[in-house]
Amino acid sequence: MAGVVSLTPAVSAAEEVNIYSYRQPELIKPLLDAFTQETGIKTNVVFASKGLAERMKAEGENSPADLLMTVDIGRLQGAKDLGVTQSVDNDTINANIPENLRDPEGHWFGLTTRARVIYASKDRVDQDSITYEELADEKWKGRICTRSGQHVYSIGLFASMVAHHGEEETEQWLTAVRDNLARKPTGNDRAQVKSIYAGECDISLGNTYYMGKMQTNEKDPEQKEWAESVRILFPNSDDRGTHVNISGMVLAKHAPNHDNALKLMEFLSSGEAQEIYAAKNFEYPVLETAEASERVKGWGDLNPDPISLDVIAKNRKIASELVDRVAFDDGPAS
């Protein structure tokens, strides 16, 4: 585990707040610096790519964690299911975060959204609009790339399909999409764009923010070429809207700095903080009056699906079972 600061169960100082974060420290540092400058409250961060909610569970009442920051509705709901969160009913936070992007019982709150979109080859795909349902059309046979169907980003999308169409119809759709794949699901979202660039497929599923990460990647300039080879299509823009997932926050069940943690949550929900956070991560603020960055706006207009993320969370188990039932990760049937 890579920790920025090592936290101990000792009694905390009056003016600090302890954060467990699945998001890399450099992504949230501008936010936390702004919070400290505004309030004088020091922030301490422990970062890890996995296992933090489980660590909080093991630490129990001795946990130093005040706040958990993570991405994806599955991970947020998972923290609630582990029993490491507590309910928050705060007028400021509730006013800033739309109802469909927060837990009905106040255990998790969205801060930014990312859309699950189609990356389409500029050279080989002419159409300017698409739907998720259309991915089952035989015209896409051998032309689709995607990561594992069991990845949390995939499960979120598939759960939304269950919510909109029911289990039986989603199973039929998922089977047809599987048979339209160019290969077995593998790699991450950026790897799918690389495959389009290489001519291995024509479209892929991916999160919007990866476009920003590729366009600005100085360590691996080749990724800029991948990004240049594709454009983003926002599925279902003309009907129910594009599926979105969230980055978010939860208040730890045994938060030793409860009041300071609430101040941080209020700050993170503000338009100022959301714009900083969204711009740094190439995501969308959840507050309607907050602006997305110019780079993100340049990808096109997002019409987000207004379905409650709580409904998505409740359909994740069925979605995961369907992925296994149709052997999605085995790739197209012969």
- The 3-class secondary structure across the chain, one letter per residue, is CCCCCCCCCCCCCCCEEEEEECCCHHHHHHHHHHHHHHHCCEEEEEECCCCHHHHHHHHHHHCCCCEEEEECHHHHHHHHHHCCEECCCCHHHHHHCCHHHECCCCCCEEEEEEEEEEEEECCCCCCCCCCCHHHHCHHHCCCEECCCCCCHHHHHHHHHHHHHHCHHHHHHHHHHHHHHECCCCCCCHHHHHHHHHCCCCCEEEEECHHHHHHHCCCCCCHHHHHHHCEEEECCCCCCCCECEEEEEEEEECCCCCHHHHHHHHHHHHCHHHHHHHHHHHCCEECCCCCCCCHHHHCCCCCCECCCCHHHHHHCHHHHHHHHHHCCHHHCCCC
Q: Is 197 annotated as a binding residue?
A: no
Predicted confidence band of residue 89 (pLDDT cuts 50, 70, 90):
very high
200 pLDDT higher than 80: yes
User: What is the average pLDDT score of the chain?
Assistant: 94
Q: What is the pLDDT of residues 127-184, one digit of tens each?
A: 999 999 999 999 999 999 999 999 999 999 999 999 999 999 999 999 999 999 999 9
Tokens of 241: 């809207």
By the 8 A CB rule, do 131 and 236 touch?
Answer: yes
254 pLDDT higher than 70: yes
Asked if domains 16-113+244-292 and 115-242+311-330 share a fold, the reply is: yes
What is the homologous superfamily of the domain 16-113+244-292 according to CATH? Periplasmic binding protein-like II (3.40.190.10)
| pLDDT for the residue 334 | 65
Name the one residue in this structure whose structure tokens are 């739907």: 131
Q: What is the pLDDT of residues 51-75, one digit of tens each?
A: 999 999 999 999 999 999 999 999 9
| pLDDT for the residue 6 | 45
123 pLDDT higher than 50: yes
Q: Is 22 annotated as a binding residue?
A: no
Separation of alpha carbons 68 and 58, rounded Å: 15
Q: What is the pLDDT of residues 231-245, one digit of tens each?
A: 999 999 999 999 999
- Domain spans, the chain: 16-113+244-292, 115-242+311-330
Amino acid at 316: R
Name the one residue in this structure whose structure tokens are 């609009």: 129
Q: Tell me, which fold does domain 115-242+311-330 have in CATH?
A: D-Maltodextrin-Binding Protein; domain 2 (3.40.190)
Predicted confidence band of residue 11 (pLDDT cuts 50, 70, 90):
very low
Which residues, in sequence order, are CB contacts of 101 under 8 Å at separation 6+? Answer: 109, 110, 113, 246, 286, 309
5 pLDDT higher than 70: no
By the 8 A CB rule, do 104 and 310 touch?
Answer: yes
1 pLDDT higher than 70: no
Name the one residue in this structure whose structure tokens are 């359909």: 315
